[in-house]
Chains A and B, each alone.
Chain A
Amino acid sequence: MGAVLMVQGTAAGAGTSIICAALCRRFLQAGYSVAPFGAQMLGKNIMAQESGLISREQFLQAEAAGIKPDSNLQPVFLLKNHNEYDLYIHGEKIDTLTRQELQKKYRQKILTVAREALEALCSTYDLVVVDGGGNPGENNFLQQEIITLDIKEKYKAPLLVVADIEWGGMFASVAGTFALLSAAEKAQVVGIIVNRFRGLRESLQPGLVMLEDLVQKPVLGVLGYYPQLPVVTAPDFADGKEREVFYLLLSSALQEDVDLSFTRHLLA
């Protein structure tokens, strides 16, 4: 049975997709078989693959993990369709409905599909890296339920919290996120990764020490700002060779700047 590692942001757009891709490549390089899993449900940038539709974020993570895109990687997603949502299960459109109808009609189905897909990945790979998207304190559709039910409770997945510092307010977003987590959720957090930092490290450092004191969790690393990242919304989405360079860059950034020693116990 493979291990599960969970990544959630303090907000949407904090950079969980990219950090999951980096983790996939890092562990691939370390000799493990790795798969990404998208618990994130609301999709924006969808692309067609042999296995059906997949979000660009999961495509990128699969490529970084060196595996073929597979509908198990993101078994359920929603695309906004005017005031309603198109529901896709395993890459096929099932229905178009409102958020409330979705909860009523498909809650059980979605949870079952997500659970089975995750199980399938766990039985195949050494490690499954879960992209949990935005803030764990906010329930977006059924995403948080999937995460809480299975990933946190069943798999006891350690949780990495990603905090974006680009526009400031990072300390507050982390402090607030921790204040809103239950004791059980907090116990699963292994640490914090600060993302998109472009200032002077020595001026940030005292703040990180204060933050660690405050939330009683370590800041595992600070990642810089990478303007060369492929933009998932861009029509060309970079080319394959550029993406490959980018995975290597991300992986080495993780290796240099983030303390991942907690995974030793996870992968033992």
Chain B
Amino acid sequence: MEAPPAGKQSAVIMIQGTASHVGKSMIATALCRLFARHGYRTAPFKSWNMSVNSYTTDGGEIGVGQGQQAEAAGIKATVAMNPLLIKPSAPGQVQVIVRGQVHKTIDSGAYRKEKLHDFYLQIIEESLAELRREYEIIVIEGAGSPAEINLREQDVANMKTAHLAGAPVLLVGDLSRGGALAAALGTYLLLPPEDRALLGGFIFNKFDGDSKKLETFTQILSKKTKLPVLGAVPYVKNLGLAEEDGATDRTSQHSETAKSESNRQYNRLADVVEVALNLPLLYDLMGLAGPRKESN
């Protein structure tokens, strides 16, 4: 594949969620594979991660999600893809892992109170710039909800990263437990105007096929937020991909059988998302004309 013209800024898209466990990672993974299949050199990025599990790269540890997303994108994972990893290491203790290496181990109470904000933002900016020099599309994943009004200053993973990257944000809501409309609308309502301006639309995940409900949600959201719903992604069962917050180690990362099984799963995810989402709108948000080649 040819390299993009020198100096050309890569396109970005950011996936945020109304809460943890709504399926942000899954959708970001699917997009990494999909854009790669469409002929774009794609990389994942999550600025800040809190997870027990990690993925080993040549430069050290990053979040499992970004390791898998790099696999899905068909590239080698690097520490720039998740430059800040907060890893609970013992009860009441966390390791602060910066660009793959343990920066320090501190008391989790102390971690919450630390003013690391400026240091973090600098690391995030540098890592993002590094990826943007090399890749054409960066798929950025947020963490938790961007509307935690008590944590707005500390939250570097969501809107602060979106502003640094100038990324349009898609907000993912989970339909499986009910209250998805309230969660999506409420997230929008709690964001300050400068953050709302970055929102490009909503995605609903774990869709059970109730199209009447989806239509109602789309209408209400369109009326109250003027933003589109890009699609509803059906519930994809038993992915066999490691859970970010799970308790098990992903030791089989390099075995050949595991690799080919993961590869099948990434394709399946991309297939599902390719059908479920409004792709012209998605490409338009990223400032791209569309797929460079047919999905294979």
Contacts and interface: CB of A to CB of B under 8 A. Distances in A.
Interface of A: 9-14, 134-135, 137-138, 140, 167-169, 171-177, 179-180, 200, 203-208, 210-211, 214
Contacts of A12: 177-179
Contacts, number: 117
Contacts of B187: 169, 172, 176
Contacts of B112: 200, 203
A134 B148 contact: no
A180 B145 contact: no
Contacts of B177: 11-13, 134
Nearest to B220: A180
9 smallest beta-carbon distances between A and B, as pairs: A176-B186, A207-B150, A11-B179, A169-B19, A176-B182, A172-B186, A134-B178, A175-B186, A169-B145
B178 A173 contact: no
B185 A171 contact: no
Given A173-B18, A176-B185, A176-B189, A211 B179 contact: no
Contact of B186 (A174, A203, A208, A210): A174
Contact of B149 (A140, A171, A176): A171
B1 interface: no
Given A172-B183, A207-B150, A179 B189 contact: yes
Contacts of A137: 179, 181-182
A203 B150 contact: yes
B65 to A, nearest CB: 16
A11 B183 contact: yes
A167 B181 CA distance: 17
A176 B190 CA distance: 9
A9 B21 CA distance: 18
Given A12-B177, A138-B179, A168 B145 contact: yes
Nearest to B152: A207
Contacts of B151: 203, 207
Contacts of A204: 150
B77 interface: no
Given A171-B149, A210-B149, A210-B150, A10 B179 contact: yes
Contacts of A135: 178-179, 181-182
A106 B224 CA distance: 34
Given A172-B147, A173-B18, 5 more contacts: A137-B181, A173-B186, A200-B112, A207-B149, A214-B190
B89 interface: no
A204 B151 CA distance: 8
